[in-house]
Each structure stands twice: as C-alpha cells, then as structure tokens.
Structure 1
Amino acid sequence: MSVRVDWRQSVAFTGTVLKYLAVTMLVPLAISLLYGEDIVTFLVSIAVTVSIGLTLERLSPDPDLGPREALLFVALSWGAVAVVGAIPYMIAGWGTESALGHPVHALFESMSGFTTTGATVTDEISFARHSHALLLWRQLTQWLGGMGIIVLMVAILPEAAVNGAQLIESEAPGPELQKLTPKIAETARLLWLFYLGFTVLLVLILLVLGQTSLAPNMNAYNAVAHGFSTLPTGGFSPQAESIAAFSPAIQWVIIPFMLVAGTNFALFYLLLQNDYAAFLQDRELQAYLGANAGVAVILWGLLFTGSAPPLELGGVTQGALENSLRQATFQVASLLNSTGYATSNFAQWGNTAKGVLLFAMFIGGSAGSTGGGIKIVRWLVVFKGIRRQLFTTAHPSAVKPVRLGGQVIDENAVTAIYGFTLVYLLTLGVATVVLLLDAGRVGLELTVFEAMSASLATIGNIGPGFGFLGPFGSYTDFPHTSKLLMIFLMWLGRLEIIPVLVIFTGAFWNE
C-alpha cells in the first residue's frame, strides 16, 4: 500500500501557526518589560518559536491541504502549540523550585491552557513565585485556545481559508459547522469578533467595579487576566483562590459571561440580524439554559438546607439565601460548560452535592461554544434516538426520524453522534482504570471517584476534580506517566477525539 497523505504540507502549515503564535508572546513580553520580570524568558521563547515555525514552513513553500492533510494539520498544530507554549514555563522555572520547570509539568500546564482545561500541576499560584508576565501568558493561552487557533488562522490567512470549512469543522466543538455567511473566512472573523467583544465587555465591567467599594482587589491586571480565561471557559486564575478571592459582586458578574461562553456563538449573529424569535426558540439554547437552571436549583436546595460543610470548610453558609444561591449558580455555570472557576472548595461538600456537580460535568456546553464536554445537542439527539427506538420497538413498521427544533436530523449525523458519545464514555472508562493502576504502582492513594473525576476533568476540558484535585488543589501528585496520559486526554477532548484518533489508524495513511 502507498502512503497518500502529504505530511510535509501539514507540518509546513503547522509552522505557519507557530510563527504567528510567537507574535502573541509580545503581550507577556510587554508585561515583563512593565514589571521588570522574565524579560529574557519571553525574548528567548519568541526567538525559539519563530525559528521552529520558519524551519517547518520550509518543508513545503506553498502548502495545499487536502482533506486528510487538513485533519493532520489540525491535530498537529494543537499538539505543537502546546509544546512551544511550554517553553516560557521551562525557561522561567529553570534552576528554581518551581514545579513548572520540569518538562512534563510545563507541557501539562501549556496543554491545559490551550485546550482551556484549567487543570494545573502547581500549588504555587502567586506573584511571589511567578512573574506577572508568566501568569498572564498562562491566561492568554486559554484565550487563544477558546475560540480556536485554527479559526483564527482561517480568519486572517487567505491560504487557510481555502480549506477553512474542513479545518474549522475539525477544530470547532460540536457535531457540525454552522456557516453564518457564504464565505467561511467571514464566518471565522465574525465568531472571533463576538468572542473579542464579549471579552472586552467583561474586562470593562470588571475595571469599573474595581474602582468601587464592591470589588476592592479587582485591578486592571486581574480584570484582563480573568477576561482572558472566562470567555474561553478556561478557569485559570492568577489568584490561588480562583474567583473566591473576589467579592460576591464580581462572582455575580462572571456568571452570565460563563453562560454566554457556553452558548453557540453563531446564535449571536441572529441578534445582529434582529431575529430575536429564532434566537429564543433555538432548541439547544433552551436546553442549555434549562439544564443550568435546573441543576442549580437542585444544588441550591442542598446547600441551603445544609448538605455542605459550614463556611470555614466548604465556603457555604447553611440557611443563607444569597450565599447558597450564588455558590450553587456559580459552580453549576462553571462546571456544566467546563470553565472550572470556583468560589468555594466544593471538594469538601457533602456527597450528594458533589454528585450533582459530577452530573453537571457530564452535560457540557453548546455546540459552537467554547465549552467542553459531550455537548447539550448530542445529549438531545441521544435521548430522542432512545425514544425513537422504544417507539419503533412497539411499532416495527413505523418510520420515525429524529427531529430537533422541528428539523429532521440526518441519519449519518445521528450515527456519528452515537459513535462519538460511545467513544467518549469508553475512553473515560479506560482512562479511569489506567489512572487507578498507575496510582497503585507508585503508592498514591486514589479513589475510584477521584480517578473518574480526573479523567472527566481532562477529557472534558473542565479542570478541577474531587478530593485532592479540588478547585484549590492540583494534579502535581500524579506520577509523570499519568500526567502524560492526561495531556493526551486534554488534546483528545479539545478536538473532540476523532480528529486525533484517526491519525493513528492505518486507513488514514494508506490509499
């Protein structure tokens, strides 16, 4: 059999992505100059990244991506940006006690950032241990990965727009691409403009609140940093206590922006067209908002009546209406769409409350959003498919298509959704077992619940888990082999499994 994939073209295009990634490092470089910290770190990182990018570009001066080359390019580029994004961590941590100085830890943190997972391997999140520039790079990686690096390339590079539809389909979360305009490059630009606009709006609101007594510690740096991690549903924070470090006013402000981040960004185009009815009648949006509200109400009831420890442990005051409502609403909005922020240590809540949060983690955001997980639209199709199967079992001669929002779903799409959901759950189960075995090998005490939450938090790009993986904990205690597995899971989850797994099959490479 002959190999039919021209990998050189995919690698050359990956070099182009890395070259432009170096441009984004100018942002933390400017911060390093402002604070006089880690200047050499980012100068060297930029030089190395540009050199790698230009070298890879030379493999094919005029790349022309076919269907399989496009798939390979998407998978390679996400792996490559994580590797290159780890360079600042390794340089800054070299010769210090920082956990990020280790290559595996640096790659974990970088992959977690770009895939908007928000899991961390360091317990040292503070300006005393890390520079303002390095922590802002950590935030910026999430913002770049949120709407998608490939979507950005399609928006700004004419050569990427040629294969733009397939590139975005391979990268974008959800079962299908929703074109807003006839030209895919215009669609990519619109998506990024919506994303940028909401980010700027949140930063401005946080800046204004920071000038009042409602948010005394919300300065310009924190406003920008949390704008960079809220809209991509990332969850990183330069504060060790995450959003718990800020006032209730800040927490209430961030909630609607997390909900926006988990909404299909293509729907906001309907608002620009003044088609409010179509926006409000979207079946996935209704299910997404309904799931958030329903799970939050259940959790609020548990917290209000005392299913969580008192304030000094879990951050919840039993019987306090505003406190318990805010904690429930925030944590559900954060975990359901995979943001991973925290306003309290939910790892210390009661088992029933933790069970509700685990359920929320399985749901996921909307297709076309920056949220992770299986996605609301897939669950809708799965449940409708189950109902159809029950109906046709009772009425074998009936023809009953799966409908969503009054529209018939193509049977190939239904089959693909079944397949994705099965592979997702199977991968989750296998990863859980492997993590348990690897933990036993090194003597790490890890419960099944904690192992499952670690697998789900990484493949679902959620971030925090339970036990020592809670919102104020880290993944540092895992052996390096487990961390490498979870790096792979984050890569799989961000690209929705298939575009990564397919490149490991013989059928992909051979004629």
Structure 2
Amino acid sequence: MNGHLRVDWRASLSLTGRVLLYLAVPLTIPVITALIYGEGWLPFLVTIVVTTLLGYGLSQLDDDRDIGAREGFLMVATTWLAVALVGTLPYLLAEHGTASTLSWPQVPNALFESMSGFTTTGATVMKNIGVEHHSHALLIWRQLTQWLGGMGIVVLAVAILPELSVGGAQLMDAEAPGPGIEKLTPRIAETARVLWIAYFAFTVLEMALLYGLHLAGFAKEMTLFNAISHGLTTLPTGGFSPEAYSIEVFSAAVQWAIIPFMVVAGTNFALFWGLVQGNPRSLLADEEFRFYTGVMASLTAVVTVVLFVGSSLPGTVGLAGVEQSLRHGLFQVVSIVTTTGYASFDFNGWTTTAQYLLLFGMFLGGSAGSTGGAIKMVRWLVIAKSIKRELFTTVHPEAVKPVRLGGRALDESAIRGIHAFTLLYIALFFLSVVVLMLDAGRIGMELQVLDGMSAIAATIGNVGPGFGAVGPMENYLSFPWTSKFLMVFLMWIGRLEIFPVLVLLTRAYWRS
C-alpha cells in the first residue's frame, strides 16, 4: 500500500500486465492468417511486441498478487481499457485498415473499433467492410477481439493464471456479466475453465454447422472464412461480420441456423453445466431462463404481426410472407435482446412501431452469466417481482413477503442494488442522449432523436446497430471525435456494468 491508499494498485496493474502477456498469444492468429492469404503481417507483429513489452513491464510492478474486492474492480477496469488500447494498433498500422496514413482523426476511430470489439458491442466506424476493402488478417483480428471479450478476458485469466485463484472470486463477481454467477465447481479457476470449455464448444459447433450448410449447397456465400468469422462473433453476442450487409447477404437457412446460437449466447452458461452433469431439467427449471425465453417469444410474436400487417418486408403475402415475417422478426428480436447486433434485414425500412419495439428490446439484455449486455433479464425479473410485492403489501401492510428467485429469498440489499443499477443505467442513457445530440448539433450533423437514442442504447448496452444514421447497414463514422470518445466510455462501463468503473471515481474507494 502507498501512503493512505486503501487499494493495492500495483497488484492490480501487475495482474493486468499478466493478461496482456497472454493477449500476445491470440495475436499470432492474424499473423498466420496474413501468411496464408499472402497479406501484410508486420502490423500484428508490432502489436505482439508492444503488447508483450507493456505486459511484462506492468507485471513487474508487484510480486505479491493477492487481491481483494477493491483490487479486483481496478484490475478488471484497467484490463478492459488496456486491451482496447493495444487493440487499436492493428487498425492504425494495417496497410488496408481503418487508416492507411496515421493521423489524429484515425486514433478515435481505431479506439472505437477496438473497444467495440472487446466489449462485444458490434458498432463500427468502418465505412466499407469486406475482404475487398480490408485484409483477411485485419478482419479476423476484428472478429477475434469479440470472441475474447465475450466470455471475458478476465474470466480467461482466472482460468489460466494460478496466482488469481485466491482472488478469483472477486474477479468473477466484478467481471462476469450480470448480478453474479454461481461457482460450478469447488475451485473458482475450475469454474472459469468449465465456462470457457462450453463457450469454445458452442463456437466450434456453429462454425461446423455454417460451413456444413455451404458444403450442402444451402449457403453459397458462407465460405470457410465466413463460417469461422461468424462463429467467433455469435457466441460473444458481438455482431461483427466481414460482410457489409451483415447476415442479410446469406440464405434463409443460415439465418435460421444462427438464431439458436444467439439464444444460447444470451443464456446463463452455468445452466449448461447442469446439462453436462446429466440434469437436462435444470434449464427449464431455471426461472430466469423461462422469463428470458418468454419475453423473446412474446416480443417476437408482436414484431412478426407488425411486419406482416405493415408490409415492411417485400412479398409479405401467403405462407411465404408468414415465414419471412417470422424469420426476420424472430432473428431481429433475438439479435437485439441478446445484444448480438446481427441484422438479417435493414430494419431502417420497417415501420416506426417495429423500430420502437426493437428500441425497447435494447434495454432487456440476456441472462446473468451470459455474454449479453444491457440491463439483463434477471434484473427485470426481480424488479417485476418487487413491484408485485409492493402492490401486495399496499393492500396487506402487516404482511412480510420476501422476493423469491428460484425458490430462494433475495436479500433486500441485493434488491436495492438492482433498483439502483437500473435507475443509474437509465439516467446515464438519457444524460448521454442529451450530450450526443448537443455534440452532433455543434458540427451541424443532422441527427434525429430516435437515431441518437438508439446510438446511446446500442453503445451502453453493447448492442451495436441502431436506427437511421447508425442503422444496421450504416456506421458511426460520421460522429465527431468527441462523441466517439463518449461512446467508447459508454461501451467500456456498459460491458463492466457501470459500478466497477464509476466506483473508481469516488474518494471512498481509494481512501475510506
């Protein structure tokens, strides 16, 4: 400890350095990709060297790396920021990347793309996407950042770094998406490994299925490169695609095939451990999972009817129209609710009603313990239950009625925390919308209110695309650099669920 500080920041930064050292390993994948396709590999080699040197330097700050909750918060926040910063280098240095000539305007663009990748947001500033505009190596790095960020770089670190095993529980609480994740095994490192094995297995399964559709003649455009790329960005609910028009360019078979994997990605991965253990009923017995699937089914039904009746899709007549409305309605609802961000159709052309339904879906999020972002289903479930309790106790003021989840009574402090998080999330959303609209007006950028709201909801909720200027077939390039830094900040705190970052700004965290 230094002076009167209550946080061992050296231990936190030392562990951040260890994570950076391991980040140099997956950076070899775009190097190999560049060699296979005969592309420039130097930008990635430079990034490996910088990442290794920075990681080694930070790792030497402290040899005693035992950490508590405070150090866990600092380590998680700095790790996500550090990987996003070093992740900008390939975009800045690649011959056909975001910038062919390094200049200041390209720095916020590269940081935006990198942070969007690692936080699995899926928002992009690339005006043109595809191997005709960018190298295979750069695009695979773009996909890989989402796959690494999906289950969490810190969860990966807990799984592979033995020195984190003591403080691993604090890191899992700080980093794992959602209010918390139960230990599946007696050792926290083993729990992290179990989650990553499930994550890896579903990724490989999707890649095999997508490429299998190509081999069977059902998906001409789904090449091996595309199958790998979309496998890397579906399970992390990332949404980056090497195709400029996302999933719209692929056949209906591909769109149907991707839907269940997005549902899986938004499910609490701890539930799959029950399936592996021979308890298939654990999934349906989970109250949050039933709520999660029920909400998506209900929202899908409404959107499907709106699309079919409103003729938002071409040829929406007869059984073909029903199938098309159901497919695009289900795909977009699942994509938005799970914060994956893929698009099977340009929903900028949908009716206003359908767009507002999707905007509502941006605030829902996946399950706790999933790779999804936004507020999360479990919080909405607890809020609904607490509102129901308040209505009951209004009529029966003498009654003592705990809020139960999965048969267990929730602690009142946990309920207050959920209400506080949701209120803070919504407050930050509206404040950021105001700042974004003012900043856009400052440079004369015409930005509709719905477009601005969707841009903020998409970045703080790690969703990706919005409406209008930031629609699924558009990008965030036209925003001023100040707005891009705002959205980078929102992606960062949104991925870490706000409190682990904002608490660092309080005096009490550092000294009380």
**Range into which the TM-score falls when normalised by the shorter chain:** over 0.9
TM-score (norm 1): 0.97
Q: Indicate the residue corresponding to 2:42 in structure 1.
A: 40
Q: Match of 2:6?
A: 4
Residues 471-493 of structure 1: per-residue CA shift (max 9 Å, x gap): 01001111100100000000011
CA distance in 2, matches of 1:83, 1:479: 19
Identity rate, percent: 56
1:164 equivalenced with 2:165 (yes/no): no
Offset of residue 191 of structure 1: 0.3
Choose 1-10 or 263-272, whichever is displaced more. 1-10
Q: Distance in 1 between matches of 2:8 and 2:479?
A: 38
Instruction: Give the SS at the match of 2:24.
Output: helix
Q: Cα distance 1:191–1:360, how it changes in 2: closer, same or farther (>3 A)?
A: same
The amino acid that maps onto 1:58 is Q
CA distance in 2, matches of 1:100, 1:109: 15
CA-based RMSD of the aligned residues comes to: 1.5
Q: Unpaired runs of 5+ in structure 2? A: none
Q: Quote the Cα distance in structure 2 between the aligned partners of 1:230 and 1:243.
A: 11
Single out whichever of 250-259 and 2-11 deviates more from structure 2: 2-11
Question: 1:382-437: CA deviations, max 9, x gaps?
Answer: 01111111221222211111112322111111111111111111111111111011
1:51 aligned residue? 53
Counterpart mapping for 1:18-417 below 5 A: 18-92=20-94, 93=97, 96=100, 102-308=106-312, 310-311=313-314, 317=316, 320-417=321-418
- Code of the aligned partner of 1:125: I
In 2, distance between residues paired with 1:363 and 1:162? 34
- 1:100 positional shift: 11
Moved more, 82-91 or 385-394: 385-394
The Cα of 1:498 is off from its aligned counterpart by: 0.4
Q: In the TM superposition, what whole-angstrom CA distance separates every residue of 1:162-218 from its partner, at most 9, and x where no partner exists? A: 111110110111112211111111110000000000001001111211112211111
Higher mean alpha-carbon deviation, 245-254 vs 382-391, is at: 382-391
**Shift, 1:61, TM fit:** 3.0
Q: How far, CA to CA, are the matches of 2:275 and 2:165 in structure 1?
A: 26
CA distance in 2, matches of 1:382, 1:98: 48
8 Å CA contact 1:114–1:146 kept in 2: the answer is yes
Residues 1:418 and 1:95: Cα distance change in structure 2 (over 3 Å): closer
User: Alpha carbons of 1:97 and 1:298: their partners in 2 closer, same or farther (altered >3 Å)?
Assistant: farther
Shift of 1:318: 5.2
Aligned in 2, Cα 1:152/1:246: closer, same or farther, shift over 3 Å?
same
CA distance in 1 between counterparts of 2:38 and 2:107 reads 25
Q: Distance in 2 between matches of 1:160 and 1:371?
A: 24
Aligned to 2:497: 496
Q: Alignment length, in residue pairs?
A: 506
Q: Secondary structure at the match of 1:108?
A: helix
Structure 1: unaligned runs, 5 residues or longer: none
- The amino acid that maps onto 2:278 is N
* TM-fit CA distance, 1:277: 2.4
Amino acid at match of 2:238: G
Paired residues of 2:98 and 2:110 also in contact (CA < 8 A): no
Tell me: CA distance 1:94–1:451, structure 2 relative to 1, closer, same or farther (3 Å).
closer
Residue identity matched to 2:322: L
Give the superposition deviation at 1:344: 0.6
Q: Segments of 4+ in structure 1 off by > 4 A?
A: 97-101
1:421 aligned partner: 422
Partner SS state of residue 330, structure 1: helix
Q: For 1:95 and 1:478, locate their aligned partners in 2 and report how far apart those are by CA, in whole Å.
A: 17
Whole-angstrom CA distance in 2 between matches of 1:209 and 1:450: 36
Aligned letter for 2:20? L
Distance 1:114 1:95, change over 3 A: closer
Partner of 1:14: 16
* Alpha-carbon separation, structure 2, partners of 1:383 and 1:350: 29
Moved more, 440-449 or 76-85: 440-449
Between 430-439 and 395-404, the greater mean CA deviation after superposition:
395-404
Q: Give 1:95 deviation, angstroms.
A: 6.3
Q: Is the 8 A contact 2:447 2:469 kept in 1?
A: no
Distance in 2, Cα, partners of 1:171 & 1:458: 18
Q: Distance in 2 between matches of 1:322 and 1:98?
A: 48
CA distance in 2, matches of 1:129, 1:51: 31
**CA distance, structure 2, for counterparts of residue 224 and residue 401 of structure 1:** 47
